[in-house]
């Protein structure tokens, strides 16, 4: 963003009160938010009744009614109640998602319940790590499941499914750097066509066997659980696939608003998905052989190839949504100090949510392709998929109730009752997916554990480096007094120097080195501290402040620039928000030189961390984005001065 301020998302026009604007927001949400959950009908029931499952569910009339009822009520409880009606009421200045909950927890940690909030923030961080696993598995299973429809259209194409999937995925990741702005306009209409198509196919199946509508009654779901618990429990590991993408509803709330997402879900997505599930159930009741591909078999023969093409488009959109989500989570994690500074490119001038993180993009592409060639089918990947989804949902539910208690002061007995019911449902799904541990559920746990270890190691290492750096830098007030008393015997040179500093209490290493070794200082010195606040955006009028150093006659000022955790700091743009007379007259920022302090890390003898974690921390530091580029500094006027610190 050129002016360092938050631009207005296209999904939040000023005339939001007009019907056309409201419809536009809902259509935009349909194209981005619901891709993942909207493509779940392709593989959910097929996976439940998969005969190759290590715990297969026999195809019988009672089991079909029970499974369809369980699918419907799982969607109602987890998506409609937990996310749409409850979680989306808790936001961090309009932003949702698990990283927003972590930011809220960190804010509450400063008050009462500090230890509990810190523990839950760590749990939330593991939930964010699980999301990275989800973002790797979703494109693989979604695109695979869609392309597998070719086997029903032309069985001879079975061997081409994996290569075609790989090509689609490679193309998908290659175009990420161009951003979604150009294609985003067609996402909404494509998904509307998708939901209309699967709803119509579902109606056709229901008309052929209207008795399936009895499964709307929760008694069938409860009866299936109570009467066939052994079968129903293992079925939950696949039924959870019906709620994949629920986290996206919450994570994308900041771009479209709670009202638009709620309307899109209740008016179109939920009815269409429900009709598809009931229609597939009716088709399986008609002929158990249809369990091999009930979603595509619902369509008449002439419509199956077009449905495969539409499904492929829908799964690409679903993949796009989760990939963008991974960019956002990584960017937010970096701003909150859990990951190194990453290069983030904003791909749209009108929508702040459209970003591109190159390092994450290529990591995801390699990971997704590896999963496609390793598992080779959506059914095999489904065993791994459920674990990531259930883990993230359970942690989100837990964090929500803690934040809700702190925010709303709801009576504990009432909150505990609701939490007990929803967490019981979530934990049943987690337990069921743990039975698939040796069949693939270990994969998202391994990915999450790896990501969690990296993030916590980076956070701890950063604390160690910051402490040592502060010791070397010394206090800012004493160093400024040292300069003002002319004890440094420095020579003043013309021009303005901007020294970037991580905090507001210590002197920048680059400034100290310039004075102690070169014995010079600039006529005008700006010591600039950047602060990342636990809110997504900072208003322009709150961006800049000048602390107690004031506008001294010696030309030294201390500026604090505040940025939200969703923003990419733009230092020159922030400085232009200073008093115009100061910025354009005295400082002449267009000619200013920028000084950065670069730290070289090495393993030290101190027992600050385990040796392997020290090496991991140093290895992770190599992906740190170039500071000058990250802060928007002009290359030809940036000076970097180094220092070495032991970890």
pLDDT tens, residue by residue, 459-477 = 999 888 888 877 877 787 7
For residue 445, which of 362, 400, 370, 386 has the smallest C-alpha distance? 386
Report pTM.
0.78
Mark which of 412, 440, 468 sits at the end of a domain.
Answer: 440
Statement to judge: residues 424 and 495 lie in one domain? no
Region 45-56: mean pLDDT is: 84
Tokens describing residue 358? 């190159």
> CA triplet 159, 162, 168: central angle to 5 degrees?
130
Statement to judge: residues 261 and 318 lie in one domain? yes
Q: Residue 431: CB partners within 8 Å, gap ≥ 6?
A: 233
CATH number for the domain including 424?
A: 1.20.1740.10
CA-based radius of gyration for the chain? 27
Q: Is residue 18 in some structural domain?
A: no
Statement to judge: residues 97 and 168 lie in one domain? yes
Q: Are 553 and 583 in contact (CB under 8 A)?
A: no
Domain count, the chain: 2
Mark which of 379, 409, 440 sits at the end of a domain.
Answer: 440
Q: Which comes out higher in pLDDT, residue 559 or 22?
A: 559
As beta bridge partners, residue 497 has 525, 593
Region 286-302: mean pLDDT is: 89
Please name the residue that has the structure tokens 């115009």.
Answer: 580
Q: Is residue 56 in some structural domain?
A: yes
What's the pLDDT score for residue 369?
94
Among 90-94, 230-234, 546-550, 607-611, the minimum mean pLDDT is found in 546-550
Q: Is residue 16 in some structural domain?
A: no
**pLDDT > 90 fraction of the chain, expressed in percent and rounded:** 26
Region 79-96: mean pLDDT is: 86
For residue 311, which of 157, 179, 163, 201 has the smallest C-alpha distance? 201
Region 181-210: mean pLDDT is: 85
Q: Is residue 454 in some structural domain?
A: no
Mark which of 440, 475, 495 sits at the end of a domain.
Answer: 440
Tokens describing residue 616? 């991991």
Please name the residue that has the structure tokens 């790797």.
Answer: 136
For 156, the domain range is 28-440
Confidence of residue 2 (pLDDT cuts 50, 70, 90): very low
Statement to judge: residues 464 and 369 lie in one domain? no
How far is it, in rounded angstroms, from Cα 67 to Cα 74? Answer: 10
For residue 187, pLDDT over 70 is answered with yes
Statement to judge: residues 429 and 510 lie in one domain? no
For residue 600, which of 502, 465, 422 has the smallest C-alpha distance? 465
Q: Is residue 12 in some structural domain?
A: no
Statement to judge: residues 421 and 466 lie in one domain? no
Statement to judge: residues 282 and 224 lie in one domain? yes
Q: Is residue 20 in some structural domain?
A: no
* Cβ neighbourhood burial of 516 (10 Å; 0-12, 13-18, 19+): exposed
Statement to judge: residues 221 and 159 lie in one domain? yes
Statement to judge: residues 382 and 509 lie in one domain? no
3-state helix, strand, coil in the chain (%, to 5): 65, 10, 25
Q: Residue 524: CB partners within 8 Å, gap ≥ 6?
A: 495, 496, 497, 555, 586, 587
Q: Is residue 269 in some structural domain?
A: yes
Catalogue the long-range contacts made by 346-351 (C-beta closer than 8 Å, 24 or more residues apart): 346/1, 346/568, 347/177, 347/178, 347/179, 347/180, 347/181, 348/179, 348/180, 348/181, 349/7, 350/7, 350/8, 350/9, 350/10, 350/181, 351/7, 351/9, 351/10, 351/11, 351/181, 351/184, 351/255
Statement to judge: residues 185 and 235 lie in one domain? yes
* Cβ neighbourhood burial of 533 (10 Å; 0-12, 13-18, 19+): middle
Q: Is residue 335 in some structural domain?
A: yes
Tokens describing residue 94? 């309009």
Q: Edge to edge, what strands does the sheet with 638-646 contain?
A: 544-546, 556-564, 520-533, 491-501, 593-602, 638-646
Statement to judge: residues 373 and 510 lie in one domain? no
Statement to judge: residues 117 and 201 lie in one domain? yes
For residue 348, which of 161, 176, 112, 136 has the smallest C-alpha distance? 176
Q: Are 55 and 435 in contact (CB under 8 A)?
A: yes
């Amino acid at each position: 963003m050129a002016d360092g301020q938050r631009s207005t998302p296209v999904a939040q026009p000023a005339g939001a009160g007009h019907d056309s604007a409201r419809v536009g927001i809902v259509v935009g949400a349909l194209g981005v938010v619901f891709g993942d959950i909207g493509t779940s009908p392709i593989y959910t029931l097929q996976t439940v009744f998969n005969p190759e499952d290590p715990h297969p569910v026999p195809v019988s009339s009672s089991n079909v009614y029970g499974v369809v009822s369980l699918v419907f009520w799982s969607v109602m409880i987890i998506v409609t109640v937990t996310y749409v009606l409850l979680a989306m009421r808790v936001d961090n200045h309009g932003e949702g998602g698990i990283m927003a909950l972590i930011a809220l927890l960190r804010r509450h940690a400063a008050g009462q319940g500090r230890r509990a909030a810190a523990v839950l923030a760590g749990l939330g961080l593991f939930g964010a790590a699980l999301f990275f696993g989800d973002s790797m598995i979703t494109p693989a299973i979604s695109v695979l499941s869609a392309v597998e429809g070719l086997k029903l259209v032309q069985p001879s194409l079975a061997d081409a499914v994996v290569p075609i999937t790989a090509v689609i995925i490679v193309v998908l990741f290659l175009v990420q750097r161009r951003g979604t702005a150009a294609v985003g306009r067609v996402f909404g209409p494509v998904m509307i066509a998708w939901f209309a198509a699967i709803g119509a196919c579902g109606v056709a199946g229901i008309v052929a066997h209207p008795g399936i509508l009895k499964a709307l009654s929760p008694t069938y779901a409860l009866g299936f659980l109570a009467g066939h618990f052994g079968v129903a429990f293992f079925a939950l590991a696949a039924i959870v696939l019906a709620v994949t993408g629920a986290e996206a509803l919450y994570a994308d709330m900041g771009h479209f608003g709670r009202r638009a997402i709620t309307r899109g879900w209740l008016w179109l997505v939920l009815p269409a998905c429900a009709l598809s599930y009931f229609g597939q159930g009716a088709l399986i009741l008609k002929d158990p052989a249809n369990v091999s591909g009930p979603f595509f078999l619902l369509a008449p023969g002439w419509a199956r190839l077009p449905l495969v093409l539409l499904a492929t488009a829908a799964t690409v959109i679903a993949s796009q949504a989760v990939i963008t989500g991974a960019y956002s989570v990584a960017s937010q994690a970096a701003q909150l100090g859990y990951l190194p500074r990453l290069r983030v490119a904003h791909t749209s001038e009108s929508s702040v949510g459209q970003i591109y993180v190159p390092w994450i993009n290529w990591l995801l592409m390699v990971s997704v392709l590896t999963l496609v060639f390793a598992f080779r089918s959506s059914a095999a990947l489904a065993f791994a998929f459920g674990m990531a989804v259930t883990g993230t949902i359970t942690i989100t539910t837990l964090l929500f109730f803690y934040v809700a208690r702190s925010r709303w002061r709801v009576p504990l007995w009432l909150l505990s009752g609701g939490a007990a019911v929803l967490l019981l449902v979530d934990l049943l799904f987690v337990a069921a997916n743990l039975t698939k541990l040796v069949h693939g559920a270990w994969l998202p746990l391994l990915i999450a554990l790896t990501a969690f270890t990296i993030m916590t190691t980076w956070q701890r290492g950063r604390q160690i480096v910051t402490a040592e750096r502060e010791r070397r830098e010394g206090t800012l007030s004493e160093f400024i007094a040292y300069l003002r008393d002319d004890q440094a015997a420095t020579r003043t040179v013309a021009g303005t120097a901007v020294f970037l500093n991580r905090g507001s209490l210590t002197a920048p290493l680059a400034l100290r080195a310039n004075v102690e070794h070169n014995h010079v200082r600039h006529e005008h010195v700006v010591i600039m501290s950047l602060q990342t606040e636990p809110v997504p955006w900072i208003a322009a009028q709150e961006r800049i402040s000048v602390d107690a150093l004031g506008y001294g006659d010696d030309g030294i000022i201390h500026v604090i620039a505040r940025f939200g955790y969703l923003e990419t700091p733009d230092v020159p743009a922030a400085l232009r928000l200073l008093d115009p007379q100061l910025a354009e007259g005295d400082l002449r920022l267009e000619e200013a030189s920028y000084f950065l302090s670069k730290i070289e890390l090495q393993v030290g003898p101190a027992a600050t961390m385990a040796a392997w974690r020290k090496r991991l921390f140093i290895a992770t530091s190599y992906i740190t984005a170039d500071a000058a580029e990250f802060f928007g500094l002009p290359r030809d006027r940036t000076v970097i001065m180094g220092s070495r610190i032991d970890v």
